Amino acid sequence: MRIQMTACALLAAAGLIAGCSGVVGTADGPAAPPSDQVAELEPAPGTKSGTDAAHEGFVESTAGAPAESSALADGTYPPDFTLDVTVLVGLGSPSLLKVEDRQAKYVVLPDGALHADASPFIDISTRPGRTRWLYEDQVQFLWGLCAQYGFTDERSANGPPNPDMLRVPRGERLAVMTFRAGGRTWTFVRRATDAQPFDAAAVRIIRTLAILSWLPDYRPEDVAPERYDFGPDPYAVYRAIRAQQPATIRR
């Protein structure tokens, strides 16, 4: 009997506490599930909108939908965004120091994997190993950079449907940039002859990929012929003896 009375007293006390706190619910918890809505950030009265407001101060409000930063709202990229860039150097082309003039392959996959390699044996069908994983904001930056230079506009593409059929002529360099987004695939091709550079837009894309892949520019000593020192000439003494002999003997 005492146990039952103690239990009733405890339940009554719990109900009293709940009533005082204003919480209305059932034995399984509150009547309404807790809100998982993220507090919205609204500019304080009198502040500027945009980037300036972000530096001046905000007030927190739980009303309305969760706020999304303008950078994410305006800078999203397609979930299937893929970038495949190949730089081919033809026979007879001069040895240049810039990384964008080096024969190389860069591939960015939708999951953020960056595959890259630089080698004279690379071609368009090469699939190099993974170099690193890119952060989401880095992939977003790449997409925004491509959009800035017009490479995300499929209507401006000048490459063939099958870029694997391209061949670089002698003395030329070829930059083949294949994009995939929204279920569509298109290719841009840029050419350069002799020591002339690619156009500025292609150079910016290639150099950005090279920086993300940790591929630097060449130094002059990197392209200089490598010479080995095997010591003194073993035939020098015989040449000296022959030079001292009379001309009649040498005949």
- pLDDT digit string (tens) for 183-199? 999 999 999 988 888 99
Burial of 189: CB neighbours in 10 Å, binned 0-12, 13-18, 19+: middle
Q: Which residues pair with 30 in a beta bridge?
A: 25
The pTM assigned to this predicted structure is 0.60
For residue 173, what pLDDT is reported? Answer: 92
Going residue by residue through the chain, which has 251 residues, state the pLDDT in tens, using 9 for 90 and above: 455 555 555 545 444 444 444 444 433 334 444 433 333 334 444 444 443 443 343 333 333 333 333 333 456 889 999 999 999 998 888 888 888 888 999 999 999 999 999 988 988 888 999 999 999 999 999 999 999 999 999 999 998 888 888 888 898 999 999 999 999 999 999 999 888 889 999 999 999 999 999 998 877 777 677 777 777 888 888 888 888 887 666 55
Give the orientation angle of helix 200-212 with respect to helix 136-148, to 10 degrees: 170
Check residue 100 and report its DSSP letter.
G
For residue 30, what pLDDT is reported? Answer: 41
For residue 207, what pLDDT is reported? Answer: 93
For residue 133, what pLDDT is reported? Answer: 95
List of domains in the chain: 82-218 (3.30.1560)
How many of the other CB atoms lie within 10 Å of CB of 190? 19
For residue 249, what pLDDT is reported? Answer: 60
Residue for token digits 């893929």? 82
- pLDDT digit string (tens) for 100-153? 888 999 999 999 999 999 988 988 888 999 999 999 999 999 999 999 999 999
Smallest CA-to-CA distance from 223 within 93, 118, 104, 96 is with 96
> Which helix (H) or strand (E) element contains residue 6?
helix 2-21
For residue 85, what pLDDT is reported? Answer: 95
Q: Evaluate whether 108 touches 132 at the Cβ level (below 8 Å).
A: no
For residue 248, what pLDDT is reported? Answer: 64
